[in-house]
Amino acid sequence: MPVEQPTNRVLAALAHVDRRHWPSSLERVELRQGYTLLTPNAPIEFMYFPEGALVGLLHTVGPDGLEAPLALVGSDGLVGVAPFLGVPAERLRAEVLHPGSAWRLPAAALNKGPQPDESQLRVVLRYLQELDAQMSQAALCRLQHTLYQRLSRWLQDAFDRVPGSVLHIEPATLGTWLGTEPGAVALATSQLAAEGVVTQQNGRITLLDRAQLAHRSCGCLQQVKQQTDPLLSHTP
């Protein structure tokens, strides 16, 4: 199915280079909350370009199978980079955190016709650089800033990647991503609610004041944006 003016940044960047051999393979799908898009070391069947959904990338560590959250992917990115690089699998798990739409591309579509050319690979490599910046800054954030600041930064980041002002997410999931107990996350979220920044009810956080949320954030997100916004702001 041809895509006219995609809102996903990576897909929009790819739209300006030679992808004439696979646009008909793109399919718009709805991703439900909690659905796993990628399984570690399993062959990748589909790649996803979210437009309304928010996806979390996690890495399994240790013999107990504990998962370390790495990065968020929304309308800025791509889930399943490996096929573009000629690799069949990734060591990550990708889980839908917030339900919504995405464009889905079968990995097999890249094997039909010309292989990804230099311009396509440049788009993908720039996006990988963006993911690296996001992960590096998040690691520093966990060491340097309070839970209240980190929650504000995480919510700001999430709302920047999804349309609208409502985020469907449970405190337990936020606890995983912030490295703390759900109860502590609930208290920090309640503080934001008391200050008129968000409301929280039944696994749903509604953004009331984007500027105030940014003001309460630690500033890590702005540092990432300064590094990454130029990467896909122009065509290869």
Could you tell me which residues come within 8 angstroms of residue 150 by beta carbon, excluding any fewer than 6 positions away?
141, 142, 178, 218
3-class SS of residue 77: coil
DSSP for 7-66, please give it: SSHHHHHHTTSS-TTSGGG-EEEEEPTT-EEE-TTSPP-EEEEESS-EEEEEEEETTTTE
Could you tell me which residues come within 8 angstroms of residue 140 by beta carbon, excluding any fewer than 6 positions away?
220
- Do residues 107 and 87 touch, judged by C-beta distance below 8 A? no
The alpha carbon of residue 126 and the mean position of all alpha carbons in its chain are separated, in whole angstroms, by 15
Residue for token pair 């984007």: 210
The pLDDT, as a whole number, for residue 15 is: 74
Q: pTM (2 decimals)?
A: 0.90
Beta bridge partners of 48: 79, 104
Could you tell me which residues come within 8 angstroms of residue 164 by beta carbon, excluding any fewer than 6 positions away?
none
Beta bridge partners of 205: 167, 200
Nearest by Cα to 80 from 51, 62, 117, 105: 105
CA–CA distance, 46 with 66 (Å, rounded to integer): 25
Sheet bearing 204-207, strands edge to edge:
166-168, 204-207, 198-201
The pLDDT, as a whole number, for residue 4 is: 61
CA–CA distance, 3 with 94 (Å, rounded to integer): 24
Domains of the chain: 9-115 (2.60.120.10), 140-227 (1.10.10.10)
CA–CA distance, 192 with 212 (Å, rounded to integer): 9
Tens of each residue's pLDDT in the chain, 236 residues? 455 667 899 998 887 665 555 667 889 999 999 999 999 999 999 999 999 999 999 998 767 777 889 999 999 999 999 998 888 899 899 999 999 999 999 998 877 655 666 778 888 888 998 888 888 888 888 888 999 999 999 999 999 999 999 999 988 999 999 999 999 999 999 999 999 999 999 899 999 999 999 999 888 777 777 766 666 665 44
